[in-house]
Amino acid sequence: MKKISVIKQLRDYIIYIFILLLIKFIQFWPRRTAIKITQGIGQLSFRLALKSKRRIEQHLTKAFGKEKSSKEIKKLTKEVSMHSFTAAADYVRLPIMTFDEINNIIKVDGIEHLEKAYAKNRGVIMLSAHLGNWELLGVWVAKQGFPSIAVGARIRNLHLEKLVMKFRRQCGLKNIKRGYDTREIIKALKQGQGVGMLIDQSTKVQGEFVNFFGYPAHTATAPYRLAKKYGSPIIPIFIHQHKDYTYHIECLEEIKLHHSGDDHQDIIDTLQDCSTVIEHFVRKYPEQWSWIHRRWKKQ
């Protein structure tokens, strides 16, 4: 394990304390007020975080440069930044929100697809993306009585990582670090639980290149491999936010595995189906996706 310098440890701890105090402050207020507070922080951040703004704009241009004008992309860049702070209010309030509060701000379509998948008792691979408020999506699934775990990326700041893990536990979610604890994922599927997988980012896990917005994007093969080996259905499930700050969860029909006899091609074709459904939702709600991530970084 890489040794962390004392200076970096101190810096990480100071950041953690600052964020912890900010969370406590936001949790003190009613939901609408909390949203206004995080939006105010977002306005300030958008003016100061020039590097992040440039990266978001660059990625939006790559995806929509042939469809949208420079003015439209600049407007969308601000909307992307503001949405992340709007969603943050609900994220930090999740541990103090009741079951009724969560249900009151969420509309759901297609839940029958999720119920049908769970009824098979082979585990469920819930395919999603860093769209809308994905943490709220995971909590909603758990609170509806669907036993599930979330597979998430590691956070470099260990203090913040522990905080995120604590948040998820408080909300009834078990978290598995991406690239670690594979046996826990297999165990969960064998027990008929759901495993939330967000495969819309370029990571170091085993993957293949498939098309995403017209460019090759390295995509994790885990959904295909697990579905094939354990018979677990892949169910696309996404969440997006409306202008009145309510949310809409959409569950889609199972993504069927390809069976051509060529295993490698079957992986590519199935992953392409997964990528296509993710792109569909990102195109529909572009201001709600995490454009700051370098999706096409790996070549």
Q: Coil, strand or helix: which one is 102?
A: helix
The whole-angstrom separation of Cα 294 and Cα 299 is 11
In this prediction, residue 6 carries a pLDDT of: 81
Average pLDDT over residues 275-292: 97
Give the start-end residues of each E strand in the chain.
106-109, 124-128, 148-152, 174-177, 194-198, 207-212, 215-220, 234-241, 247-251
Q: What's the mean pLDDT when you consider all of the chain?
A: 92
In this prediction, residue 9 carries a pLDDT of: 84
The whole-angstrom separation of Cα 285 and Cα 19 is 28
Mind listing the pLDDT tens digit for each residue in 98-143?
889 999 999 999 999 999 999 999 999 999 999 999 999 999 998 8
In this prediction, residue 3 carries a pLDDT of: 59
CA-based nearest residue to 246, from 27, 26, 23, 35: 35
How large a percentage of the chain has pLDDT more than 90? 77
DSSP bridge pairs for 125: 195, 234
The answer, yes or no, to whether residue 174 has pLDDT greater than 90, is: no
Structural contact between residues 138 and 249, judged by C-beta atoms closer than 8 angstroms: no
Structural contact between residues 196 and 136, judged by C-beta atoms closer than 8 angstroms: no
Q: How confident is the model at residue 1 (pLDDT cuts 50, 70, 90)?
A: very low
Q: Give CA separation, 149 vs 67, 110, 135, 187, in Å.
A: 38, 21, 12, 11
CA-based nearest residue to 145, from 178, 111, 176, 120: 111
Any idea which of 4-18, 60-74, 103-117, 193-207 has the lowest mean pLDDT?
4-18
The string of DSSP letters for 160-191 reads: HHHHHHHHHHHTT-EEEETTS-HHHHHHHHHT
Q: Are strands 215-220 and 207-212 parallel, antiparallel or unpaired?
A: antiparallel
Mind listing the pLDDT tens digit for each residue in 184-233?
889 999 999 999 999 999 888 889 999 999 999 999 999 999 999 999 99
CA-based nearest residue to 196, from 224, 165, 234, 155: 234
Q: How confident is the model at residue 179 (pLDDT cuts 50, 70, 90)?
A: low
Residue 147 is given by DSSP the state -
In this prediction, residue 160 carries a pLDDT of: 84
CB atoms closer than 10 angstroms to residue 259: 11
pTM of the complete model: 0.92
